[in-house]
Chains A and B, each alone.
Chain A
Amino acid sequence: MKERYDVTVIGAGPAGLLAAKALAQNGFDVAVLERKQDPAAITRACGQSLLPPNEYFFGDIFHYNERDKRFCFSVSGLSFPYTGPVKSLYNWHMFSPGMKKMQFGCGEEKKTAPIALSYDKDVLIKDLLRDIACDHVDVCAGTEYTDMQFGPGTIVVKAGEKAFQSSFVIAADGTNSRVVQKLGYNSNRRHIANLYVQSCFIKGFKPPHDNAIITAVTFVDEKPVYLFLLPRAEGDEWNFIILTLEAGVDLTAAYDRITKDARFAAWFKAAKKTKEFAAIEYIYSPIQRPFRNNVLIVGDAGACQELECLGAMLTGWKGGLAIAAALKEQELGIMPRAIAQYEDWWLNTYIKQYDYQDYLSIFGIAYMFSKPEVIDYVFGLMGDESFPATFNPYRAVGLLGGRLQSLMPRIMQERPDILQVLAGTMSLFPSDIMGQTLKK
Protein backbone atom coordinates (compact mmCIF):
# COMPACT_ATOMS: atom_id res chain seq x y z
CA MET A 1 0.00 0.00 0.00
CA LYS A 2 1.30 3.43 -0.98
CA GLU A 3 0.95 6.71 0.89
CA ARG A 4 -0.79 8.32 -2.04
CA TYR A 5 -2.30 7.12 -5.31
CA ASP A 6 -3.34 8.96 -8.44
CA VAL A 7 -6.72 7.26 -8.29
CA THR A 8 -8.61 5.16 -5.76
CA VAL A 9 -11.16 2.81 -7.30
CA ILE A 10 -13.92 1.56 -5.00
CA GLY A 11 -15.21 -1.91 -5.96
CA ALA A 12 -13.48 -4.74 -7.82
CA GLY A 13 -16.40 -5.74 -10.03
CA PRO A 14 -16.24 -5.58 -13.83
CA ALA A 15 -16.55 -1.76 -13.86
CA GLY A 16 -13.89 -1.11 -11.23
CA LEU A 17 -11.37 -3.54 -12.65
CA LEU A 18 -11.64 -2.11 -16.17
CA ALA A 19 -11.31 1.43 -14.84
CA ALA A 20 -8.16 0.33 -13.00
CA LYS A 21 -6.85 -1.32 -16.16
CA ALA A 22 -7.35 1.85 -18.22
CA LEU A 23 -5.55 4.00 -15.64
CA ALA A 24 -2.69 1.60 -14.96
CA GLN A 25 -1.99 1.14 -18.67
CA ASN A 26 -1.52 4.90 -18.84
CA GLY A 27 1.09 4.70 -16.12
CA PHE A 28 -0.92 5.92 -13.15
CA ASP A 29 -0.84 4.55 -9.60
CA VAL A 30 -4.13 2.90 -8.76
CA ALA A 31 -5.54 1.28 -5.62
CA VAL A 32 -8.68 -0.85 -5.89
CA LEU A 33 -10.68 -1.36 -2.69
CA GLU A 34 -12.87 -4.45 -2.47
CA ARG A 35 -14.82 -5.51 0.60
CA LYS A 36 -14.80 -9.24 -0.18
CA GLN A 37 -11.68 -11.22 0.68
CA ASP A 38 -11.66 -12.72 -2.79
CA PRO A 39 -13.05 -10.36 -5.44
CA ALA A 40 -13.51 -13.34 -7.77
CA ALA A 41 -15.82 -15.21 -5.39
CA ILE A 42 -19.20 -14.10 -6.74
CA THR A 43 -21.81 -13.85 -3.99
CA ARG A 44 -24.37 -11.56 -5.60
CA ALA A 45 -26.99 -13.01 -7.98
CA CYS A 46 -26.07 -12.60 -11.66
CA GLY A 47 -27.23 -14.34 -14.83
CA GLN A 48 -23.62 -14.63 -16.04
CA SER A 49 -24.54 -14.25 -19.66
CA LEU A 50 -23.08 -11.56 -21.89
CA LEU A 51 -25.35 -10.06 -24.46
CA PRO A 52 -25.90 -9.38 -27.22
CA PRO A 53 -23.05 -10.50 -29.46
CA ASN A 54 -25.19 -10.06 -32.58
CA GLU A 55 -25.75 -6.30 -32.66
CA TYR A 56 -24.46 -2.88 -31.56
CA PHE A 57 -24.97 -2.37 -27.86
CA PHE A 58 -24.09 0.74 -25.86
CA GLY A 59 -22.44 2.00 -29.04
CA ASP A 60 -20.05 -0.94 -29.30
CA ILE A 61 -19.74 -4.41 -30.80
CA PHE A 62 -18.93 -6.96 -28.14
CA HIS A 63 -17.58 -10.36 -29.17
CA TYR A 64 -15.56 -13.33 -28.01
CA ASN A 65 -12.28 -13.82 -29.82
CA GLU A 66 -12.09 -17.58 -29.51
CA ARG A 67 -8.64 -17.91 -31.10
CA ASP A 68 -6.92 -15.85 -28.40
CA LYS A 69 -9.53 -16.36 -25.67
CA ARG A 70 -10.32 -12.68 -25.26
CA PHE A 71 -13.44 -10.61 -24.77
CA CYS A 72 -13.39 -7.70 -27.21
CA PHE A 73 -15.19 -4.41 -27.74
CA SER A 74 -14.27 -3.45 -31.29
CA VAL A 75 -15.34 0.19 -31.24
CA SER A 76 -13.63 1.14 -27.96
CA GLY A 77 -10.48 -0.83 -28.70
CA LEU A 78 -10.91 -2.68 -25.43
CA SER A 79 -9.95 -6.34 -25.15
CA PHE A 80 -8.86 -8.52 -22.26
CA PRO A 81 -8.17 -12.19 -21.64
CA TYR A 82 -10.96 -14.53 -20.57
CA THR A 83 -9.75 -18.10 -20.16
CA GLY A 84 -13.00 -19.63 -18.92
CA PRO A 85 -15.75 -21.56 -20.67
CA VAL A 86 -18.24 -19.94 -23.06
CA LYS A 87 -21.57 -21.38 -24.22
CA SER A 88 -23.48 -19.80 -27.08
CA LEU A 89 -27.22 -19.33 -26.58
CA TYR A 90 -29.49 -18.89 -29.60
CA ASN A 91 -33.07 -18.66 -28.42
CA TRP A 92 -35.12 -17.04 -25.70
CA HIS A 93 -38.41 -18.65 -24.64
CA MET A 94 -40.75 -16.52 -22.57
CA PHE A 95 -43.67 -18.23 -20.76
CA SER A 96 -46.85 -16.64 -19.43
CA PRO A 97 -48.53 -17.81 -16.21
CA GLY A 98 -50.71 -20.20 -18.25
CA MET A 99 -47.63 -21.43 -20.17
CA LYS A 100 -48.35 -19.58 -23.39
CA LYS A 101 -45.02 -18.98 -25.09
CA MET A 102 -43.28 -16.25 -27.03
CA GLN A 103 -39.97 -17.03 -28.66
CA PHE A 104 -37.06 -14.86 -29.74
CA GLY A 105 -34.96 -16.72 -32.32
CA CYS A 106 -36.09 -19.16 -34.98
CA GLY A 107 -35.04 -22.28 -33.13
CA GLU A 108 -32.55 -23.24 -35.82
CA GLU A 109 -29.31 -23.09 -33.93
CA LYS A 110 -26.05 -21.89 -35.35
CA LYS A 111 -27.67 -20.46 -38.48
CA THR A 112 -27.65 -17.09 -36.79
CA ALA A 113 -25.24 -15.38 -34.40
CA PRO A 114 -25.85 -16.24 -30.73
CA ILE A 115 -28.07 -13.90 -28.73
CA ALA A 116 -25.98 -14.27 -25.60
CA LEU A 117 -22.84 -15.96 -24.32
CA SER A 118 -22.99 -17.79 -21.05
CA TYR A 119 -19.69 -17.35 -19.17
CA ASP A 120 -18.20 -17.89 -15.73
CA LYS A 121 -18.01 -14.62 -13.79
CA ASP A 122 -15.55 -15.98 -11.21
CA VAL A 123 -13.10 -16.68 -14.05
CA LEU A 124 -13.77 -13.30 -15.67
CA ILE A 125 -12.86 -11.46 -12.45
CA LYS A 126 -9.87 -13.75 -11.83
CA ASP A 127 -8.55 -13.07 -15.34
CA LEU A 128 -9.06 -9.31 -14.98
CA LEU A 129 -7.20 -9.38 -11.65
CA ARG A 130 -4.32 -11.23 -13.28
CA ASP A 131 -4.34 -8.78 -16.18
CA ILE A 132 -4.15 -5.67 -13.99
CA ALA A 133 -1.57 -7.22 -11.66
CA CYS A 134 0.85 -6.98 -14.62
CA ASP A 135 0.11 -3.24 -14.67
CA HIS A 136 1.03 -2.79 -10.98
CA VAL A 137 -2.46 -2.07 -9.62
CA ASP A 138 -2.74 -2.50 -5.83
CA VAL A 139 -5.87 -4.54 -5.16
CA CYS A 140 -6.80 -4.23 -1.49
CA ALA A 141 -9.22 -7.08 -0.77
CA GLY A 142 -11.19 -7.33 2.47
CA THR A 143 -11.23 -3.51 2.51
CA GLU A 144 -14.66 -1.90 2.77
CA TYR A 145 -15.17 1.76 1.89
CA THR A 146 -16.88 3.52 4.78
CA ASP A 147 -16.48 7.25 4.20
CA MET A 148 -14.82 9.96 2.14
CA GLN A 149 -13.34 13.38 2.97
CA PHE A 150 -12.51 16.18 0.56
CA GLY A 151 -9.45 18.40 0.91
CA PRO A 152 -7.76 20.70 -1.62
CA GLY A 153 -6.53 18.47 -4.46
CA THR A 154 -6.92 15.36 -2.33
CA ILE A 155 -9.69 12.95 -1.50
CA VAL A 156 -9.26 10.72 1.52
CA VAL A 157 -11.14 7.44 1.21
CA LYS A 158 -11.69 5.74 4.55
CA ALA A 159 -11.96 2.00 4.85
CA GLY A 160 -12.25 1.11 8.52
CA GLU A 161 -8.85 1.92 10.02
CA LYS A 162 -7.22 2.41 6.63
CA ALA A 163 -7.15 5.64 4.62
CA PHE A 164 -6.32 6.09 0.93
CA GLN A 165 -5.29 9.48 -0.49
CA SER A 166 -5.67 10.30 -4.15
CA SER A 167 -6.45 13.07 -6.63
CA PHE A 168 -9.48 11.31 -8.10
CA VAL A 169 -11.83 8.55 -7.02
CA ILE A 170 -13.75 6.16 -9.24
CA ALA A 171 -16.86 4.76 -7.59
CA ALA A 172 -17.57 1.28 -8.96
CA ASP A 173 -19.28 -0.07 -5.86
CA GLY A 174 -22.27 -1.38 -7.78
CA THR A 175 -25.99 -0.91 -7.39
CA ASN A 176 -27.13 0.81 -4.12
CA SER A 177 -23.71 2.54 -4.18
CA ARG A 178 -22.75 4.07 -0.86
CA VAL A 179 -20.51 6.58 -2.63
CA VAL A 180 -23.49 7.75 -4.69
CA GLN A 181 -25.49 8.16 -1.46
CA LYS A 182 -22.61 10.04 0.16
CA LEU A 183 -22.41 12.49 -2.76
CA GLY A 184 -26.12 13.22 -2.54
CA TYR A 185 -27.06 12.07 -6.03
CA ASN A 186 -30.12 10.10 -4.99
CA SER A 187 -32.13 13.14 -3.95
CA ASN A 188 -32.38 14.09 -7.65
CA ARG A 189 -33.07 10.58 -8.87
CA ARG A 190 -36.43 8.95 -9.03
CA HIS A 191 -36.87 5.86 -6.86
CA ILE A 192 -39.03 3.49 -8.89
CA ALA A 193 -39.11 0.13 -7.22
CA ASN A 194 -37.06 -2.42 -5.34
CA LEU A 195 -35.88 -5.63 -6.93
CA TYR A 196 -35.59 -8.66 -4.63
CA VAL A 197 -33.64 -11.64 -5.98
CA GLN A 198 -32.72 -15.15 -4.93
CA SER A 199 -30.84 -17.36 -7.31
CA CYS A 200 -29.04 -20.66 -7.37
CA PHE A 201 -27.02 -22.96 -9.58
CA ILE A 202 -28.90 -26.22 -10.07
CA LYS A 203 -27.95 -29.65 -11.29
CA GLY A 204 -30.43 -32.13 -12.76
CA PHE A 205 -32.66 -29.46 -14.32
CA LYS A 206 -34.58 -30.81 -17.31
CA PRO A 207 -35.04 -27.84 -19.63
CA PRO A 208 -37.94 -27.60 -22.05
CA HIS A 209 -35.35 -26.33 -24.58
CA ASP A 210 -31.56 -26.86 -24.64
CA ASN A 211 -29.01 -24.05 -24.89
CA ALA A 212 -31.74 -21.48 -24.63
CA ILE A 213 -32.74 -18.82 -22.15
CA ILE A 214 -36.02 -19.59 -20.45
CA THR A 215 -38.01 -16.97 -18.64
CA ALA A 216 -41.46 -17.08 -17.11
CA VAL A 217 -43.91 -14.74 -15.42
CA THR A 218 -45.88 -16.33 -12.63
CA PHE A 219 -47.70 -15.27 -9.49
CA VAL A 220 -46.99 -16.25 -5.88
CA ASP A 221 -49.77 -15.24 -3.48
CA GLU A 222 -51.10 -13.04 -6.29
CA LYS A 223 -47.81 -11.18 -6.52
CA PRO A 224 -45.86 -11.21 -9.80
CA VAL A 225 -42.64 -13.20 -9.72
CA TYR A 226 -40.25 -13.60 -12.65
CA LEU A 227 -38.17 -16.69 -13.35
CA PHE A 228 -34.96 -16.68 -15.39
CA LEU A 229 -33.23 -19.93 -16.31
CA LEU A 230 -29.89 -19.80 -18.08
CA PRO A 231 -27.53 -22.67 -18.88
CA ARG A 232 -24.15 -22.28 -17.21
CA ALA A 233 -21.15 -22.04 -19.50
CA GLU A 234 -19.79 -25.47 -18.67
CA GLY A 235 -21.32 -28.82 -17.77
CA ASP A 236 -25.03 -29.36 -17.24
CA GLU A 237 -25.70 -26.84 -14.46
CA TRP A 238 -28.26 -24.08 -14.85
CA ASN A 239 -28.51 -20.68 -13.24
CA PHE A 240 -32.02 -20.23 -11.80
CA ILE A 241 -33.04 -16.71 -10.81
CA ILE A 242 -36.26 -15.83 -8.98
CA LEU A 243 -37.01 -12.15 -8.91
CA THR A 244 -39.81 -9.91 -7.70
CA LEU A 245 -40.54 -6.22 -7.28
CA GLU A 246 -42.90 -6.93 -4.38
CA ALA A 247 -41.76 -6.57 -0.80
CA GLY A 248 -42.69 -9.39 1.49
CA VAL A 249 -42.58 -12.32 -0.96
CA ASP A 250 -40.81 -15.18 0.80
CA LEU A 251 -38.45 -16.13 -2.00
CA THR A 252 -37.15 -19.21 -0.23
CA ALA A 253 -40.71 -20.56 0.03
CA ALA A 254 -41.35 -19.41 -3.56
CA TYR A 255 -38.54 -21.67 -4.79
CA ASP A 256 -40.18 -24.70 -3.19
CA ARG A 257 -43.61 -23.80 -4.49
CA ILE A 258 -42.48 -23.06 -8.03
CA THR A 259 -40.36 -26.18 -8.39
CA LYS A 260 -43.30 -28.33 -7.23
CA ASP A 261 -45.93 -26.44 -9.22
CA ALA A 262 -47.61 -28.65 -11.86
CA ARG A 263 -46.51 -26.26 -14.64
CA PHE A 264 -42.81 -26.55 -13.83
CA ALA A 265 -42.51 -29.79 -11.81
CA ALA A 266 -41.26 -31.88 -14.74
CA TRP A 267 -38.34 -29.48 -15.28
CA PHE A 268 -37.29 -29.54 -11.63
CA LYS A 269 -38.02 -33.17 -10.67
CA ALA A 270 -34.34 -34.09 -10.25
CA ALA A 271 -33.02 -30.56 -9.60
CA LYS A 272 -30.58 -29.96 -6.77
CA LYS A 273 -29.13 -26.63 -5.66
CA THR A 274 -25.35 -26.47 -5.76
CA LYS A 275 -24.83 -22.80 -4.81
CA GLU A 276 -27.08 -19.96 -3.66
CA PHE A 277 -27.00 -16.20 -4.23
CA ALA A 278 -29.10 -13.15 -3.39
CA ALA A 279 -29.45 -9.56 -4.50
CA ILE A 280 -31.48 -6.51 -3.56
CA GLU A 281 -31.53 -3.41 -5.67
CA TYR A 282 -33.21 -0.07 -5.16
CA ILE A 283 -34.06 0.90 -8.74
CA TYR A 284 -33.45 4.59 -9.39
CA SER A 285 -33.53 6.58 -12.60
CA PRO A 286 -29.97 6.92 -13.93
CA ILE A 287 -27.53 9.60 -12.81
CA GLN A 288 -27.33 12.17 -15.61
CA ARG A 289 -23.91 13.71 -14.91
CA PRO A 290 -21.71 11.15 -13.12
CA PHE A 291 -18.78 13.43 -12.10
CA ARG A 292 -18.83 15.45 -8.89
CA ASN A 293 -16.16 16.51 -6.33
CA ASN A 294 -13.47 14.72 -8.40
CA VAL A 295 -15.37 11.45 -8.04
CA LEU A 296 -16.52 9.63 -11.18
CA ILE A 297 -19.34 7.11 -10.92
CA VAL A 298 -19.15 4.09 -13.26
CA GLY A 299 -21.11 0.88 -13.80
CA ASP A 300 -24.22 -0.12 -11.89
CA ALA A 301 -23.43 2.49 -9.26
CA GLY A 302 -24.61 5.19 -11.68
CA ALA A 303 -27.34 3.53 -13.74
CA CYS A 304 -29.45 0.48 -13.16
CA GLN A 305 -28.52 -1.06 -16.49
CA GLU A 306 -28.91 -4.30 -14.54
CA LEU A 307 -28.59 -7.51 -16.44
CA GLU A 308 -26.03 -5.72 -18.61
CA CYS A 309 -22.52 -6.31 -17.36
CA LEU A 310 -21.29 -5.05 -20.74
CA GLY A 311 -22.36 -1.55 -19.75
CA ALA A 312 -20.44 -1.84 -16.48
CA MET A 313 -17.33 -2.87 -18.40
CA LEU A 314 -17.63 -0.12 -21.01
CA THR A 315 -18.33 2.67 -18.54
CA GLY A 316 -15.47 1.43 -16.33
CA TRP A 317 -13.05 1.38 -19.24
CA LYS A 318 -14.11 4.70 -20.77
CA GLY A 319 -14.37 6.34 -17.35
CA GLY A 320 -10.87 5.13 -16.44
CA LEU A 321 -9.51 6.57 -19.69
CA ALA A 322 -11.26 9.88 -19.04
CA ILE A 323 -9.64 10.19 -15.61
CA ALA A 324 -6.26 9.19 -17.09
CA ALA A 325 -6.62 11.99 -19.64
CA ALA A 326 -7.74 14.41 -16.90
CA LEU A 327 -4.56 13.62 -14.93
CA LYS A 328 -2.51 14.29 -18.06
CA GLU A 329 -4.37 17.56 -18.64
CA GLN A 330 -3.45 18.64 -15.10
CA GLU A 331 0.16 17.63 -15.57
CA LEU A 332 0.45 19.53 -18.87
CA GLY A 333 -1.57 22.50 -17.71
CA ILE A 334 -3.97 22.29 -20.63
CA MET A 335 -7.68 23.06 -20.68
CA PRO A 336 -9.63 20.16 -19.21
CA ARG A 337 -12.10 18.42 -21.51
CA ALA A 338 -11.75 14.63 -21.17
CA ILE A 339 -14.22 14.25 -18.33
CA ALA A 340 -16.81 16.50 -19.97
CA GLN A 341 -16.50 14.42 -23.14
CA TYR A 342 -16.99 11.25 -21.15
CA GLU A 343 -20.04 12.71 -19.41
CA ASP A 344 -21.50 13.56 -22.81
CA TRP A 345 -21.01 9.98 -23.99
CA TRP A 346 -22.55 8.68 -20.74
CA LEU A 347 -25.60 10.90 -21.12
CA ASN A 348 -26.15 10.75 -24.87
CA THR A 349 -25.21 7.16 -25.65
CA TYR A 350 -25.30 5.15 -22.48
CA ILE A 351 -28.33 6.71 -20.84
CA LYS A 352 -30.42 8.26 -23.59
CA GLN A 353 -30.09 5.60 -26.28
CA TYR A 354 -30.76 2.84 -23.77
CA ASP A 355 -33.73 4.16 -21.93
CA TYR A 356 -34.15 2.61 -18.50
CA GLN A 357 -37.91 2.75 -19.10
CA ASP A 358 -37.46 0.10 -21.80
CA TYR A 359 -35.37 -2.05 -19.54
CA LEU A 360 -38.07 -1.74 -16.89
CA SER A 361 -40.78 -2.80 -19.34
CA ILE A 362 -39.50 -6.37 -19.17
CA PHE A 363 -40.29 -6.40 -15.47
CA GLY A 364 -43.36 -4.30 -16.10
CA ILE A 365 -45.22 -6.90 -18.17
CA ALA A 366 -47.14 -8.28 -15.22
CA TYR A 367 -48.09 -4.75 -14.15
CA MET A 368 -49.05 -3.54 -17.62
CA PHE A 369 -51.23 -6.54 -18.39
CA SER A 370 -52.18 -6.73 -14.73
CA LYS A 371 -53.94 -10.13 -14.68
CA PRO A 372 -52.64 -13.65 -15.47
CA GLU A 373 -55.51 -14.14 -17.88
CA VAL A 374 -54.58 -11.01 -19.85
CA ILE A 375 -50.90 -11.99 -19.95
CA ASP A 376 -51.88 -15.44 -21.26
CA TYR A 377 -54.09 -13.94 -23.93
CA VAL A 378 -51.44 -11.46 -25.10
CA PHE A 379 -48.63 -14.05 -25.07
CA GLY A 380 -50.89 -16.48 -26.97
CA LEU A 381 -51.69 -13.91 -29.60
CA MET A 382 -48.17 -12.56 -29.98
CA GLY A 383 -46.45 -15.94 -29.76
CA ASP A 384 -47.98 -17.25 -33.00
CA GLU A 385 -44.81 -16.40 -34.83
CA SER A 386 -41.28 -16.23 -33.42
CA PHE A 387 -39.56 -12.87 -33.02
CA PRO A 388 -36.09 -12.09 -34.42
CA ALA A 389 -33.29 -13.52 -32.29
CA THR A 390 -32.36 -11.21 -29.42
CA PHE A 391 -31.92 -11.14 -25.65
CA ASN A 392 -31.33 -7.42 -25.68
CA PRO A 393 -34.11 -6.10 -23.44
CA TYR A 394 -34.20 -2.73 -25.23
CA ARG A 395 -34.65 -4.36 -28.63
CA ALA A 396 -37.07 -6.98 -27.32
CA VAL A 397 -39.35 -4.32 -25.89
CA GLY A 398 -39.45 -2.55 -29.25
CA LEU A 399 -40.30 -5.79 -31.05
CA LEU A 400 -43.03 -6.68 -28.56
CA GLY A 401 -44.51 -3.18 -28.66
CA GLY A 402 -44.55 -3.19 -32.46
CA ARG A 403 -46.33 -6.51 -32.72
CA LEU A 404 -48.84 -5.63 -30.03
CA GLN A 405 -49.66 -2.44 -31.89
CA SER A 406 -50.27 -4.37 -35.11
CA LEU A 407 -52.57 -6.79 -33.28
CA MET A 408 -54.75 -4.07 -31.80
CA PRO A 409 -57.52 -4.38 -34.43
CA ARG A 410 -57.77 -8.10 -33.71
CA ILE A 411 -57.86 -7.55 -29.96
CA MET A 412 -60.55 -4.93 -30.44
CA GLN A 413 -62.68 -7.52 -32.22
CA GLU A 414 -61.94 -10.51 -30.01
CA ARG A 415 -61.51 -8.97 -26.58
CA PRO A 416 -62.60 -5.35 -26.26
CA ASP A 417 -62.37 -5.77 -22.48
CA ILE A 418 -58.65 -6.54 -22.76
CA LEU A 419 -58.13 -3.69 -25.19
CA GLN A 420 -59.47 -1.40 -22.51
CA VAL A 421 -56.95 -2.70 -19.97
CA LEU A 422 -54.13 -2.23 -22.48
CA ALA A 423 -55.26 1.24 -23.53
CA GLY A 424 -55.11 2.31 -19.90
CA THR A 425 -51.52 1.19 -19.39
CA MET A 426 -49.79 1.32 -22.77
CA SER A 427 -49.70 5.09 -22.86
CA LEU A 428 -47.99 5.24 -19.46
CA PHE A 429 -44.32 4.79 -18.67
CA PRO A 430 -43.49 1.44 -17.02
CA SER A 431 -42.03 3.34 -14.06
CA ASP A 432 -45.38 5.09 -13.55
CA ILE A 433 -47.35 1.87 -13.73
CA MET A 434 -45.00 0.16 -11.31
CA GLY A 435 -44.95 3.19 -9.08
CA GLN A 436 -48.73 3.26 -8.93
CA THR A 437 -49.20 -0.47 -8.42
CA LEU A 438 -46.40 -1.02 -5.95
CA LYS A 439 -47.32 1.90 -3.75
CA LYS A 440 -50.89 0.67 -3.30
Chain B
Amino acid sequence: MVTIDTSVCLVCGGCIDLCPKTAIQMVDDRVYVIQEKCIQCKICVQVCPVGAPRHIEDAA
Protein backbone atom coordinates (compact mmCIF):
# COMPACT_ATOMS: atom_id res chain seq x y z
CA MET B 1 0.00 0.00 0.00
CA VAL B 2 1.18 3.56 -0.71
CA THR B 3 0.20 6.32 1.66
CA ILE B 4 1.30 9.90 2.16
CA ASP B 5 2.74 10.99 5.47
CA THR B 6 0.81 14.23 5.91
CA SER B 7 3.16 15.37 8.67
CA VAL B 8 5.98 15.46 6.11
CA CYS B 9 4.07 16.47 2.94
CA LEU B 10 4.45 20.15 2.01
CA VAL B 11 1.42 20.09 -0.34
CA CYS B 12 3.40 21.13 -3.43
CA GLY B 13 1.01 19.06 -5.56
CA GLY B 14 3.70 17.39 -7.65
CA CYS B 15 2.78 13.77 -6.97
CA ILE B 16 -0.89 14.50 -7.71
CA ASP B 17 0.00 15.70 -11.20
CA LEU B 18 2.49 12.94 -11.94
CA CYS B 19 0.57 9.91 -10.70
CA PRO B 20 -0.24 7.99 -13.88
CA LYS B 21 -3.56 6.77 -12.49
CA THR B 22 -4.83 10.09 -11.05
CA ALA B 23 -4.94 8.21 -7.79
CA ILE B 24 -3.80 11.12 -5.63
CA GLN B 25 -6.03 14.03 -4.71
CA MET B 26 -6.05 17.15 -2.62
CA VAL B 27 -8.92 17.45 -0.17
CA ASP B 28 -9.01 20.28 2.37
CA ASP B 29 -5.35 21.08 1.65
CA ARG B 30 -4.26 17.51 2.42
CA VAL B 31 -2.90 15.06 -0.10
CA TYR B 32 -4.37 11.52 -0.14
CA VAL B 33 -3.94 8.32 -2.13
CA ILE B 34 -7.22 6.86 -3.39
CA GLN B 35 -6.39 3.22 -2.67
CA GLU B 36 -8.89 1.75 -5.17
CA LYS B 37 -7.15 3.56 -8.03
CA CYS B 38 -3.52 3.08 -6.93
CA ILE B 39 -1.47 0.47 -8.82
CA GLN B 40 1.53 0.81 -6.49
CA CYS B 41 3.85 1.96 -9.27
CA LYS B 42 5.69 4.09 -6.68
CA ILE B 43 6.21 7.01 -9.02
CA CYS B 44 4.96 9.30 -6.26
CA VAL B 45 7.60 7.86 -3.93
CA GLN B 46 10.30 8.65 -6.52
CA VAL B 47 9.19 12.17 -7.39
CA CYS B 48 8.39 13.66 -4.00
CA PRO B 49 11.21 16.04 -3.02
CA VAL B 50 10.62 15.49 0.72
CA GLY B 51 9.96 11.74 0.89
CA ALA B 52 6.37 11.97 2.10
CA PRO B 53 4.81 9.10 0.10
CA ARG B 54 5.58 5.73 1.72
CA HIS B 55 5.27 2.24 0.31
CA ILE B 56 4.31 -0.34 2.90
CA GLU B 57 4.47 -3.99 1.82
CA ASP B 58 0.98 -5.47 1.91
CA ALA B 59 0.51 -8.38 4.30
CA ALA B 60 0.27 -11.54 2.19
Q: Given A142-B28, A146-B25, A35–B50 Cβ distance below 8 Å? A: no
- Within residues 1 to 47 of chain B, which ones have a CB less than 8 A from any CB in chain A? 10-18, 22, 25-29, 46-47
A391 within 8 A of partner (CB): no
Cβ contacts under 8 Å, B26 to chain A:
35-36, 144
**Max chain B Cβ within 10 angstroms of own Cβ: one of A173, A251, A278, A279:** A278
> Complex: how many Å from CA A176 to CA B15?
9
> Complex: how many Å from CA A44 to CA B51?
15
**Max chain A Cβ within 10 angstroms of own Cβ: one of B13, B25, B27:** B13
Cβ contacts under 8 Å, A279 to chain B:
12, 14, 49
A27-70 to B contact mask, C-beta < 8 Å, 1/0: 00000000111100101110000000000000000000000000
> Complex: how many Å from CA A198 to CA B14?
12
A1-44 to B contact mask, C-beta < 8 Å, 1/0: 00000000000000000000000000000000001111001011
Q: Are A278 and B48 in contact (CB under 8 A)?
A: yes
A252 within 8 A of partner (CB): yes
> Complex: how many Å from CA A390 to CA B51?
35
Q: Are B14 and A278 in contact (CB under 8 A)?
A: yes
A261 within 8 A of partner (CB): no
Cβ contacts under 8 Å, A36 to chain B:
11, 26, 29
Cβ contacts under 8 Å, B15 to chain A:
280
Give how many A residues have a beta carbon under 8 Å from the other chain's beta carbons.
Answer: 35
Cβ contacts under 8 Å, A203 to chain B:
none
A373 within 8 A of partner (CB): no
Cβ contacts under 8 Å, A144 to chain B:
16, 25-27
Q: Are B12 and A278 in contact (CB under 8 A)?
A: yes
Cβ contacts under 8 Å, B51 to chain A:
250, 252
A197 within 8 A of partner (CB): yes
Q: Are A176 and B50 in contact (CB under 8 A)?
A: no
Q: Are B22 and A176 in contact (CB under 8 A)?
A: no
Q: Are A198 and B49 in contact (CB under 8 A)?
A: yes
A194 within 8 A of partner (CB): yes
Q: Are A280 and B25 in contact (CB under 8 A)?
A: no
Cβ contacts under 8 Å, A198 to chain B:
49-50
A178 within 8 A of partner (CB): yes
- Quick one: which of B11, B29, B49 contacts A280, CB cutoff 8 A? B49
A429 within 8 A of partner (CB): no
- Quick one: which of A142, A174, A176, A250 contacts B18, CB cutoff 8 A? A176
> Complex: how many Å from CA A177 to CA B14?
10
- Give the nearest-CB partner of B25 in chain A: A144
Cβ contacts under 8 Å, B29 to chain A:
36-38, 41, 142
Q: Could you give 23 example pairs across A and B, Cβ below 8 Å?
A: A35-B26, A41-B29, A43-B11, A144-B26, A144-B27, A146-B22, A146-B25, A147-B22, A173-B17, A174-B13, A175-B17, A176-B17, A196-B47, A196-B49, A198-B49, A276-B10, A277-B10, A278-B50, A279-B14, A279-B49, A280-B12, A280-B14, A280-B18
Interface set of B (CB-CB < 8 Å, partner A): 10-18, 22, 25-29, 46-51
